[in-house]
Amino acid sequence: MAKPKVKENIIQDDFNERVRRLGLSDETLIGLYRTMCTVRHFEYTADRLYAEGKVHGTMHLSAGQEAVAAGTRLALQTDDYLINHHRGHGHFIAKGADVNMMMAEFLGKDTGYNHGRGGSMHIADFQSNNLGANGIVGGGIPQAVGVGLALQMQRRKEICVCIFGDGASNEGVFHEAMNMASLWKLPVLYICENNKYGMSMDVERVVAKLPIAQRAEAYGIPWSTVDGNDVIAVYETMKNAAEHVRAGSGPYFVEAMTYRYFGHSKSDRNLYRPKEEIEDWKQNRDPIMRFTKCLLRSEILGEEQAREVNAQAEQVILKAVEYAEASPDPDISTLMEYVYA
């Protein structure tokens, strides 16, 4: 496998130059940092709540993948549509979801996004064009064709971003959808968030030819790969891809290389990967750590301020937990609601 080209000092070397070139203000950069911190706190808090027995179901945490969420969001317009996958907390938060409603849904409360019907895996927010996460691996990929088709038929400027994991690229609908999206030149940005494992399966054991993104070639879709733990690189890649899509040139495919810290879900005991590997990613390639270093070195952010932003992010999440815990469960009398419109 072509290992993701992660050099620890790459950001430091050309960080300032890239930021200037991309026209990113200090405020924007601090915003990216804040988003990543918020996602990180959400995920670790979710894990704690689970350990405390406050979570009824399962969850899929994206700690370690925050840069993909934050960088992608920055490259999009507010009204762009999002079709998400099951490990989707980060993308929702980055897109501006209300963490109170997310946390309430996570705890199965009536005040949650789905009135306690969906849980962690199905958060959706139709008001902000977040069309929901999907519990079926790859289930959203062909739906993005429909969203793209509707946008095209309605002559609209928004695009659809469809995010899925490395595992989903082996589903049949992946190939049907790539073909149709390309055929009809639909405004869909496909993002494969390759965190190296589909549950326990290493991508190298299940994908015949890497990178996954080169599969787009077969369907005439332009593609690229990016270091998914470099938030600026993610932003730059997504920005270019989104421009391509928004211009009406058809879909674009990006594969972002990243890594998840937690197991696939709560029942995962990480028997399929060495502890050293997890530690290596955490110690040497963590997206927040890398970005923080850059911000500090470039003096965009002081250490004190960095701590403060991080603490604020944590507070937001703790408040969300308070909100969720104080919220009522859905009334049993509403059991049969929401089945039919």
Q: Which is nearer to other proteins, 99 or 177 (CB)?
A: 177
Residue 326 host element (H or E): helix 303-326
DSSP-based three-state secondary structure for 110: coil
Helix orientation angle between 231-246 and 10-22, rounded to the nearest 10 degrees: 40
Q: What type of residue sits at position 32?
A: L
Q: Which is nearer to other proteins, 61 or 124 (CB)?
A: 124
The nearest distance, CB 2 to other proteins, in angstroms, is: 29
The nearest distance, CB 170 to other proteins, in angstroms, is: 14
Contacts of 237 (CB under 8 A, 6+ apart): 71, 75, 224, 226, 254, 256
The nearest distance, CB 18 to other proteins, in angstroms, is: 35
Two tokens at 247? Answer: 């211009």
Q: Which is nearer to other proteins, 70 or 123 (CB)?
A: 123
Q: What is d(CA 49, CA 106) in angstroms, rounded to the nearest whole number? A: 10
The nearest distance, CB 179 to other proteins, in angstroms, is: 6
CA distances (Å), 78 to each of 72, 94, 127, 232, 249, in order?
12, 11, 11, 19, 21
CA distances (Å), 306 to each of 33, 42, 68, 341, in order?
9, 18, 20, 47
The nearest distance, CB 310 to other proteins, in angstroms, is: 32
Rounded to 5 degrees, what are φ and ψ at 118? -110, -45
Q: What is d(CA 157, CA 249) in angstroms, rounded to the nearest whole number? A: 12
Instruction: Give the binding site for other proteins (CB under 8 A).
Output: 81, 83, 105, 112-118, 122, 124-126, 131-132, 134-136, 139, 141-151, 153-154, 160, 172-173, 176-177, 179-180, 183, 337-341
Q: Which is nearer to other proteins, 284 or 334 (CB)?
A: 334
Q: Which is nearer to other proteins, 315 or 338 (CB)?
A: 338
The nearest distance, CB 126 to other proteins, in angstroms, is: 5
Q: Which is nearer to other proteins, 114 or 292 (CB)?
A: 114
